Structure formats: structure tokens, C-alpha cells
Amino acid sequence: MVDFRYHLVSLVSVFLALAIGVILGAGPLQNSIAHGLTGQVDSLRESRDKMRVELDQRGAQLDAASTALLGAGEQLNAGTLTNRRVAIVAAAGADGAIVEKTRQSLTAAGARITGEITLAPAFTDTEYATYRSTLSGNLGSYVKDLPAGGSADAILGAAVDTVVRSAPEDAGATTLITLLTSPENKLIDVAVAPSEAAEVVVFITSDPAETAPVPADKATTSPHITDTYQAAFAAIAGRGPAVAVGAGTDGNSVLGAVRSAKNGSTVDSAQTALGDVNIPMAAAAELHERHVHLGVAPGADSAIGERQSASAPAQTAPAPQPEQAPAPAPAPAEGGQAPEGGQAPAGQ
């Protein structure tokens, strides 16, 4: 059995140590401790301010580099797409700023934007899968050269391609627009009605810009949506020059899946000056029957493309033919009878 005096000595020791600590902390050690903590806080504050200045400087340098790259790109691409007809097809949820930048970079290179189509959410929504399957089975009369054994997604992609690559007076394309914009089951929105048959289709994905690779199990776009857009773009690229554009730089993005399939050309980092420069270059390459993959994401051939002109001569409208005056009516024969092949005058 432990002696009570042992407990008493232990308690006295504890309180004595506590008292000594309080006395020292409030007396001789107070200034040194406070001074040391103050010095550490000041050092951390100085480091923070220094890093902030460096970050601002790096940001200014990056902005200047982007401006310089954009200016050089405009000079490189000037005239490379003169008189070429380009249509824009944007995925549901595509960044409007990227759509606008794409439009500007193409027109700066001389292209004419012939139409803009936005795919509606129902284009990929699983709740509309049955409707899309049924509709795709009834489009054979309006879509030429349907993909052999193609899925519903591929057939609908071919239908969108037909809309933008057809002349506005084409009856089949007009019917397709009516079917695809049905208010009850809208699959596309016609932002700008096609005014001419497009030669190149630029497809803009809805991938968000990522600053670091995203694991497959945490991808922001569902595999179903990725597969749908990949099949649709494959159909578009199989029917003519096509470029897929996206902000994402991750292999699990829609653009990454399209790039892996090697259908058409691709441009990543579309939200940056690098993307602005590369989009017209990829379109020109497609018109030369070359597929290129430009940017900094996995699978890219090079960070920036090569200048190559794909301009076309201006098309002149045919000269109007003078109207021919109608032939004079033959004079009535004697006896009031019309000549052979003619009509008797009124009242005869």
C-alpha cells in the first residue's frame, strides 16, 4: 500500500513546478519568448509579401508573353483561311468565352463562319436515349452516307454534320433542323442558321480547364457523355475536315478521348493564347488532309502548329442574264382563225 505522504509530496511537486513556470513566464522569460514569437511572425509576414510581389511579377510576365504570342499568331495565321467556310458546333455547357475566342481566331485568319450549332443537354442525357435511338433509325432519307453499323450517337453526329455542310436551301438539311429542334425533344439549338455549306467543322467540347491531372474516378465529365461526344465527332470527322477544341488538358476529358481515337484534329488549352493560335492552324491542316494534335496535353504532336495557307480564291457570282422579251403574239389569220399552234383572239 502506497504511503499517503508519497501522494502529498507528488502534489506539492506538481504545484511547485506550476508556480515556478508561472513566475518565470511572467518575469524573466516573458520578454524573450514574446520577442522570439514576434520575430517569427515578422519573418513570415516578410516572406508572404515577397511571394506576393513575385507572383504579381510572374503574372505580368505571363500576360505579356500571352499578348506577344497572340500577336505573333495573328501575323502567322493572317490570310491562311481566306474564303474558307467554317461552321462551329459547341457541346452543351461549352464555355461561351472559348466559343467567342474560337470565332475571333478563325475570322482573323480570313475564314467565314457559316453557322453555329449548340448541342442541347438532351443530346447526351440518358433519359432521352430511347428517343435518340428511335429518331436515328428514321434519318436515312435525310443523311447521306450514314456510318455502316453506326450507333445512334454516330448517326446523330452525321445528322448535325449534314446540317452545317449543306446549303441553306437543301430540303434534307431543313427537315433535319426541324426534327432536331423539336420543342418536346430538342437535341440542338441553332445559334446562327447556316448560310453556306461549311468546309470545316470545329467542335468545341465542354471540358473545364484543369490545372492538374484528374484521376479517372474523379473526372468531371461522365463516361457516357464522353462516349457520346466521341462517337458524334468521329462521324463528323469521317465526313470531312473537322477539328475538336477544348480547354481541358487531362487525358480523361472529352478532348482527351477524341484525341486518343485519332479522329480529325485536336487543339487543347483553348482558353489560352496558345489555343487561339493553334485553332486556325489545325483548320488549315485539315483542309490539306492532314490531322494534327496541338497543345500541351497528353497526345499532342507539338505545342504549336505550322503555318500553311489553305486560302481559296473568291467565288464570283454568275453574271445575271438579260431577261428575254416574250415573243409577240402571232397576228390572227383572215376569217378570225388563230394560226396553227396559236390561239384565237379574245372575243372571236
In tens, the pLDDT along 107-125 reads 999 999 999 999 999 999 9
Q: Where residue 321 falls among pLDDT bands split at 50, 70, 90?
A: low
pLDDT at position 260, please? 92
Q: Where residue 217 falls among pLDDT bands split at 50, 70, 90?
A: very low
- Residue range 277-304, pLDDT digits in tens: 999 999 999 999 999 999 999 899 999 9
Q: What is the mean pLDDT of the chain?
A: 81
Sign of the CA dihedral running 68, 69, 70, 76: positive
| The residue count for the chain | 348
Which positions ≥6 away from 77 have C-beta within 8 Å?
Answer: 105, 108, 109, 277, 280, 281, 284, 307
**328 versus 90: which is more confidently predicted?**
90
246-253: average pLDDT: 76
188-204: average pLDDT: 97
pLDDT at position 80, please? 94
- Give the rounded percent of residues in the chain with a pLDDT score beyond 90: 55
Q: Where residue 73 falls among pLDDT bands split at 50, 70, 90?
A: low
For cell 376569217, name the residue.
335
Instruction: Give the C-alpha separation, 137 to 187, whole Å.
Output: 15
- Give the pTM: 0.72
- Residue range 6-46, pLDDT digits in tens: 767 777 787 777 777 766 666 655 566 666 777 777 788 87
